[in-house]
Amino acid sequence: MLSFINKVISLVLVPVYMCPFLPFLHIAKIFNQPKDLISLSANGIGSDADPVFLTAHRGVSAVAPENSLPSFEAAVKHGYYTAECDIHLTKDNKWVVCHNSEVDARFCEFGKISDLTFDEVRSFSYKSGANFWKYEDMRIPTLDEYLDVFVGTATRPQIEIKAETYDMLYTVVDAVVAKGLESSAIVISFDLEQLKKIHELNSNIELWYLIDEITAENIAEAKSIGDNVWLSPNFERNNKDTIQLAIDAGIGVSFWTVNTVEDAKMLYDMGIRYIETDILCK
């Protein structure tokens, strides 16, 4: 039934939604306008000698739909240190790039990615995101397509594992190695056991442990995996005391999601040089 509904949406409702002679697309454009990026250097934060290393959260979603190929290409163009994506497994075990487990937040169609086949998901049309109407025939990216964006560039791919799987993690490692990105790619997860598994499969891949508040316990957990493991804490769940805890522990740390100059300056003044953002640029 879901497959039938999605086919009707794709064949009938999407053309209506995208028709320039009807009001629906024009209304959508009002709510999906691009945003101007805010330069840190123009606000006196960072320098060539002591830079801030920025991660584009889900790509540069200020100028293109989040987790789309154009958003990742924009990250390379604007010189971001990394571009973060989220990956899920389809019903037939193909990795696709999308933040939510349900597709309806970004696409016209409905369903949970894990209940849909790869071919079904690839047929879906974007309904929102900055400038989504400008990218003709844009489709949900595969992991391989995402990785291709960074081959031969200075921007690092950063892959958040969203699927609740351990058995299929080897395919992520294989994809990274096949693209020659083993020393560049970063794999991140809230699931410590997933990070341990990735480390077992390939200890050369850098790992970031996603957490909320920094504690002595999660610092120890990250360090227990190996030297190539960082913390990636929720900025809103931390204060100067917990930030200092990580600094004193000597562990790499990158905060998400930092979207104001004031917050970026506070972190910079404390010695933090790695942040994830939706709107800030170099």
pLDDT in tens, 47-95: 999 999 999 999 999 999 999 999 999 999 999 999 999 999 999 999 9
Predicted local confidence at residue 191, as pLDDT: 98
Which of 4-13, 26-35, 39-48, 204-213 has the lowest average pLDDT?
4-13
pLDDT level of residue 42 (50, 70, 90 thresholds): very high
Does the pLDDT of residue 136 top 90, yes or no? Answer: no
The pLDDT value recorded for residue 8 is 85
Question: Is residue 110 pLDDT above 90, yes or no?
Answer: yes
Q: Whole-number mean pLDDT of the chain?
A: 97
**Among 263, 237, 236, 267, CA closest to 253:** 267
Q: Which residues contact 200 (CB under 8 A, 6 or more apart)?
A: none
The pTM of the full predicted model, rounded to 2 decimals, is 0.97
- C-alpha 83/C-alpha 195 separation (Å) is 19
User: Is 164 or 2 the better-scoring residue by pLDDT?
Assistant: 164
Stretch (H or E) spanning 24: helix 23-31
- How crowded is the C-beta side of 242, counted as CA atoms within 13 Å? 19
| Domains of the chain and any CATH numbers | 2-281 (3.20.20.190)
* Helix 169-178 × helix 192-201 angle, to 10°: 50
Decide if pLDDT at 108 tops 90: yes
Asked if residue 2 has pLDDT above 90, the reply is no
Token reading at 249? 């522990």
Please give the structure tokens belonging to residue 164.
Answer: 């609740």
Confidence of residue 30 (pLDDT cuts 50, 70, 90): very high
Q: If pLDDT is split at 50, 70 and 90, which confidence band does 26 have? A: very high
Q: What percent of the chain has pLDDT over 70?
A: 100
pLDDT band at 241 (very low <50, low <70, confident <90, very high): very high
Candidates 197, 203, 82; CA nearest to 146 is 82
Running DSSP on this structure, what letter comes out for residue 140? P
Question: How do beta strands 274-277 and 82-89 pair?
Answer: unpaired
What is the pLDDT, as a whole number, of residue 273?
Answer: 98
Q: Indicate if the alpha-carbon torsion angle 180, 181, 183, 184 is positive or negative.
A: positive
Assess whether pLDDT exceeds 90 at residue 259: yes
Residues 209, 212, 218, 221: is their CA dihedral positive or negative?
negative
Average pLDDT rounded to a whole number, residues 157-186: 98
**Where is 127: in which H helix or E strand?**
none
Alpha-carbon distance 131 to 71, whole Å? 10
